[in-house]
Structure 1
Amino acid sequence: MDTHVSAFKQTQRVVDDAFDASASAGAHLYLCFGAHRIRIGVLDAQRNKFVALEDYEPSGLTTVDAAIATLQELSTTHPLLQQPHWKQVRLCIKNQQFTLIPETLFELKAREEYLQLNAVVELEQEVVHHYDHQRLELVNVFTVPAKLEAWARSHFKGSAVEYVHQTSALMEGFLHMAERTTRPVLYIYVDRNYVTLVVLQGMRLEFCNSFYFASYEDFIYFVLFVLEEKKMNPDQDQVVVWGELLLNSELHDVLRKYIRNVQFGKKPNGVGYSYRFDTLFAHRNFDLYSLHFCE
């Protein structure tokens, strides 16, 4: 086995007692892919219920190629990834290679040009995709590692494979959970050294971006910057947090220090969850759950 592959370890696993991996033709496979985490989820389409979820994280430094190698290795041994035929396969891509374009300005042939305004695009190693947010009247243009797309194309023959950027999954999930309000709401999704900040006012997107942070000082700087930029009041306006944030962590402490109205998010409604999911924190895995709403 490649030494990179052995660096990824399973850190989370829940599977419904009644789930049978051989019945994959009637289920949706959701994959969240990034260099620092691979998450696998299964939704039983007939029952509209999540029935399996697994998490894999590296024990040290890793790369995108190492994560792809992990998927390739798992697809030869793992009961879920050994199944090539699914009702639907949807891959969530975690990277900072994305840009949002107003729907009225979007042209398919110009996707690479849009991206190159915000990121360095290596066309030998990346493939450009896009996702249409109809309710927001925006298009998210992003890249998928070419090796990952090649693996998915060869492995899931006969299955419909779709690609969605993590920010798109989050925005659709937040929209699904949003309440109509006259005040903007800041939604925070914390990942490993990355934070995605989304501001919605009603059903209108006011802000969306993803930032790398190396310390909790960096983290709170980005949060306060967005609040100030959008003229939000940290003592009054609502802030909702999802992702890899623990109640007794420095990140949570610094949030509570500067922002009064912080609350943890919940699992999306409108879809069911096996009782096995009751053991998981409700504010985690939101990007994977939200793939269900990326139609």
Structure 2
Amino acid sequence: MNTSVPAFRQTQRVLDDAFAPSESASAHLYISFGAHRIRVGVLDAQRNKFVALEDYEAETPSTVENAIATLQDLSASNPLLQERKWQQVRIGIKNQQFTLIPETLFDLNAREEYLRLNAVVEPEQEVVDHHEHPRLELVNVFTVPAALEAWLAMQFLDSPVEFVHQTSALMEGFLHMAERSTRPQLFIYVDKNYVTLVVLQGLKLEFCNSFFFTTSEDFIYYVLFVLQEKKMNPDQDQVMVWGELLLDSELHEVLRTYIRHVQFGKKPTDVGFSYRFDTLFNHRNFDMYSLHFCD
């Protein structure tokens, strides 16, 4: 790897013995991309089953440019990224550059204007994209790093390449996990210094936003704020949690202090997993798995 690029270490790797990268033409490649973490997943489309996952995390504070350089370096030696022809390539973008628009109000030509209401858009470095959510009757407008889009288009020249925002994957994944309930349900996804909070009531989206935090106090403030705004009861309503936290972590402890019913989420339903995935925590990687539901 280029020594000028901050090191990313591999923290997870599973590969089904029955899958070979040369079979990529009948498989989907999913990439969860953020400045500090890159995940690569493969789904065997014929078996509707995840068969590979690799996770790379920055050892020191990183940038989007560093993450792109890391992905490029990995492609020189990584068998999955060396394969050029896939049935589908889908990339989930992790950033706070997104906004949700009701589908009845969405105008393709106004995407950048929508986004500028909530974010600073830098046209030289970013391109504006969108993803439609028919079941939620909304459109997610977001930015993609221009250098990443250009490189992936060349890297997978013979494959359909699609970008979605991390929140789109999470909303679709949570829809698959949500119970039919008249009560609102809070779903939490924890990343490194970011927490995404989604409230669903039936198939209706009540809330979705991502917050930056540096302390457990900041973290629980956002959670309790959303519970209060949506008139949910921390002593009665169950809260589901996915992402980068462990049972004995400070974030989990503070959740249990203020919320009575906290439960770790599971892998999404309606898709299979190789037995190799049994070694992984069920509540991790949910955003990457849920890219599968963003059709």
Counterpart check, 1:124 vs 2:124: yes
- Residues 28 and 89, structure 1, Cα contact 8 Å, conserved in 2: yes
Q: How many residues align?
A: 295
Answer yes or no: is 1:80 the counterpart of 2:80.
yes
1:5 and 1:73 in contact (8 A); partners too: no
CA distance in structure 2 between the partners assigned to 1:121 and 1:32 by the alignment: 21
| Residue 210 (structure 1) aligns with | 210
Map residues 149-160 of structure 1 onto 2, 5 A cutoff: 149-160=149-160
Q: Which amino acid aligns with 2:139?
A: V
Aligned-pair distance for 1:3?
A: 3.0
Displacement of 1:18: 1.1
2:45 corresponds to: 45
User: Contact between 2:6 and 2:60, CA under 8 Å: does it hold in 1?
Assistant: no
Match of 2:36 in 1: 36
- What one-letter code is carried by the residue in structure 2 that aligns with 1:272? G
Q: Distance in 1 between matches of 2:180 and 2:165?
A: 25
SS at match of 1:12: strand
For the pair 1:289 / 2:277, whether they are aligned, the reply is no
Q: TM-score with structure 1 length normalisation?
A: 0.99
Give deviations 1:100-126, integer Å, cap 9, x for gaps: 000000000000000000000001000
Do the aligned residues in 1 keep the contact of 2:177 with 2:268 (CA within 8 Å)?
Answer: yes
Shift of 1:228: 0.5
Deviation of 1:78 after TM superposition, in Å, equals 0.6
For 1:97-246, what aligned pairs fall within 5 Å after superposition?
97-246=97-246
**CA shift for structure 1 position 47:** 0.7
Counterparts of 1:146 and 1:56, CA distance in 2: 21
Q: Match of 1:258? A: 258
CA distance in 2, matches of 1:4, 1:62: 12
SS of 1:176 mapped into structure 2: helix
Is residue 34–residue 94 contact of structure 2 (8 Å, CA) maintained in 1? yes
User: In 2, Cα distance between the equivalents of 1:80 and 1:5?
Assistant: 21
Q: 1:94 matched to which residue of 2?
A: 94
Q: Percent identity?
A: 77
Between the aligned partners of 1:4 and 1:65, the Cα distance in structure 2 is 12
> 1:47 & 1:3 partners in 2: Cα distance?
40
- Residue 5 of structure 1 and its aligned partner are, at CA, apart by 3.4
Closer/same/farther in 2, CA of residues 5 and 78 from structure 1, 3 Å limit? farther
Q: Which amino acid aligns with 1:133?
A: H
Give the drift of 1:19.
Answer: 1.1
Contact 1:4 1:69 in 2 (8 A): no
Q: Distance in 2 between matches of 1:3 and 1:186?
A: 43
Give the whole-Å Cα distance in 2 for the aligned partners of 1:84 and 1:19. Answer: 16
The answer for the alignment partner of 1:278 in structure 2 is 278
Paired amino acid for 1:25? A
* In the alignment, structure 1 residue 20 sits paired with structure 2 residue 17: no
SS in 1 for 2:231: coil
Is contact 2:6-2:66 (8 Å) kept? Answer: no
Give the Cα separation in 2 of the matches to 1:190 and 1:79.
29
Partner of 1:3: 3
Offset from partner CA, 1:130-179 (integer Å, 9 cap, x none): 00000000000000000000011000011000101000000000001111
**C-alpha distance in 2, partners of 1:254/1:39?**
28
> In structure 2, the residue corresponding to 1:283 is in which secondary structure?
coil
Alpha-carbon RMSD across the aligned residues, in angstroms, is 0.7
Q: Which runs of 5+ in 1 are unaligned?
A: none
Q: Deviations over 1:163-221 (max 9, x none)?
A: 01000000000001111101000000000000000000111000000000000000000
- What's 2:61 paired with? 61
Question: After TM superposition, what 4+ stretches of structure 1 lie above 4 angstroms from structure 2?
Answer: none
Deviation at 1:4, TM superposition (A): 4.7
Instruction: Give structure 2 stretches of 5+ with no counterpart.
Output: none
Q: Residues 77 and 222 (structure 1 numbering): CA distance in 2 closer, same or farther, change over 3 Å? A: same
CA–CA separation in structure 2 for the residues paired with 1:140 and 1:270: 23
